[in-house]
Amino acid sequence: MANKQIYVGTIELARALDVDPRTVRRAVKDGRLPAAKPGLRNLKFDPQAVRVALSNKGK
């Protein structure tokens, strides 16, 4: 069985990061967070890509 990619929505990611969903959308718009679907509506995020982006934030 193939590994299925899991994506989370803006609200789920905001809750996990303990921030407002607007903060997540702003971070995508500014290029600080990668989104699997471009635009600011119905964004989906790869949790692993978000972890990498956040871990590289200070580098």
Res 1: pLDDT: 54
Res 30: pLDDT: 93
pLDDT band at 4 (very low <50, low <70, confident <90, very high): confident
Domain regions of the chain by residue span: 8-55
Res 13: pLDDT: 95
The helix (H) or strand (E) run that includes residue 44 is strand 44-45
The pTM assigned to this predicted structure is 0.79
Contact 7, 50 (CB under 8 A): no
Decide if pLDDT at 39 tops 70: no
